[in-house]
Amino acid sequence: MKVLQTAERETSRTYSVAFQGEIGAYSQSSVYAFFGKDRVKRVIPLPTFSQVFNSLFSAQGEKGSDFAVVPIENSLAGSVGETLDLLLTRDVRIIGEVSIPIEHVLAIHEDTSIDQIRSVISHPQAIAQCKMYLDSKDWQQVAVYDTAGAAKMIRDGNLKDTAAIASEVAAEIYGLKVVERCIEDDHSNRTRFIVIEAKKTEKSVTGEDLRRSDEEKESNDNNYKTSVLFLTAHKPGSLVGALSAFSTRGINLTKIESRPMKSRPWEYYFFVDFEGREEDINCKDALEELRSKTIEIKILGSYKRRI
């Protein structure tokens, strides 16, 4: 009964959630997809990923947030390197994930036409996701900080020779005219977002976990994944040896990514997602072995798998 009462109190709470971009960004849609609109008291759009991470450590106010939602990988364009780098350097934990479809439109100023367009602006990932469409056009491709931000720039700058790649929602918000829909190369295009919080806070209970008792969680360990970062010695066989901690125990890896170490040319750290929870005996043993075979390890969190 006590567990259920605690869960009921948690579900009645509302949160401030930060994301990168402008109002109307895909990241804002991911916030609502994870939390539900009724549980978000305030969204905090911020220009950069670094500011989004910083918001978790700010005093509650204009830029202080309870949680942040950031993209970590796209099904077409791959991983978001800046997110991985910030996970390494900031003291945060991952408490959830969500995947949303990405459906791009070409939006232009309401007082222009497509034959007047000379350039197109959007987030670099969005431009990459629409490569085939854009290669058929003789337009200059300009990367900006956000898809919704691109739409806002056209409205605010009264740009009549520039198109934006954005969501249809963003085009509507900023009063643009949609001239092409579904311009992404692959219509199965999706982006996976992670939900993070500062480690200085007590571990949160969020998302689907709020509706599940401890007994149910114990019987559904395979519905969880854990994320870790680690650095191995710069010598042959180090990575294979580290990963054997998982393979010998039959633990499935769902993602592995290498990222260059800053100030250490040609050395890399590794980001790994694997099935299971940090507290599971099998996973706990694997992490202990991994710790003994690496120079550094950072456990980012265990959370409900939603992909």
Taking the alpha carbons of 88, 93, 99, 105 in that order, is the dihedral positive or negative?
A: negative
Whether 35 is a known active-site residue: answer no
Containing H/E element for 131?
A: helix 131-135
The span from the CA of 71 to the CA of 97, in Å, is: 9
The span from the CA of 201 to the CA of 91, in Å, is: 11
The span from the CA of 105 to the CA of 182, in Å, is: 6
State the catalytic residue, choosing from 193, 246, 270, 271: 193
Return the residue matching tokens 């996970």: 87
Contact 150, 165 (CB under 8 A): yes
Return the residue matching tokens 């393979």: 247
Whether 147 is a known active-site residue: answer no
State the catalytic residue, choosing from 112, 162, 191, 294: 191
CB-based burial label for 49 (10 Å; 0-12, 13-18, 19+): buried
> Would you call 166 helix, strand, or coil by DSSP?
strand
The span from the CA of 25 to the CA of 166, in Å, is: 8
Catalytic residues, by residue number, are 191, 193
